[in-house]
Amino acid sequence: MRTKTIWLTALVVLATVSGARAVDGLGVGLILGEPSGISIKKWITNDRAFDAAAAWSMSEHERFQFHADYLIHKFGWFNPGVQPGKLPFYYGIGGRIRLANDNYRYWHDERYHADRTSVGVRVPFGIEYLAASAPLEFFLEIVPVLDLAPDTHVGVNGAIGFRYYFR
């Protein structure tokens, strides 16, 4: 039942986001890292966007995570000579819900945690390459995370990925 709920949630999110631009459209792709899964992004202005992902942990623990972020892109912060595309830095704020079905301990904690849902805040930092000749985007990000409920816990997510933009 839990798996069906997860897939239904992912499909509803994908169906409710619409648009058209690689800075014009809806980008759908994959993220690889911790966690790994399906990613979507919707540009709302030339330098602002929303992204979201439905992802699974690659560790030995069974975890599903849904996250959504508001992103601000800074074009021209550094000029490595990448042409003809664009290479913006981005940062933002967002939230995550993580469903865990495991029995584990944090390295600093003697308590065991199992079958729980946690809610937290994400602060993504990343860099992406927006291809000029194709509706593609490649990105690398690192994301400090602060879980707030049911316990506080600090962690880090990181990923590389790509998105294809439907026009």
For residue 69, what are the β-bridge partners? 51, 94
pLDDT for the residue 105:
60
* pTM for this entry: 0.76
Tell which residue, 71, 65, 25, 24, has the closest CA to residue 51: 71
pLDDT digits (tens, 9 = 90+) for 36-58: 999 999 999 989 999 999 999 87
How many domains, the chain?
1
CB neighbour list of residue 156: distance below 8 Å, 6 or more residues apart:
142, 143, 144, 145
Over range 58-66, report the average pLDDT.
Answer: 80
Helix (H, G, I), strand (E, B) or coil at 161: strand
The CATH number that applies at residue 99 is: 2.40.160.20
Provide the percentage of residues in the chain whose pLDDT is more than 70.
71
pLDDT at 21 over 60: no
Residue 106 to residue 70: CA distance in whole angstroms: 29
Range(s) of the domain holding residue 122: 2-166
- CA 154 centroid distance within chain: 17
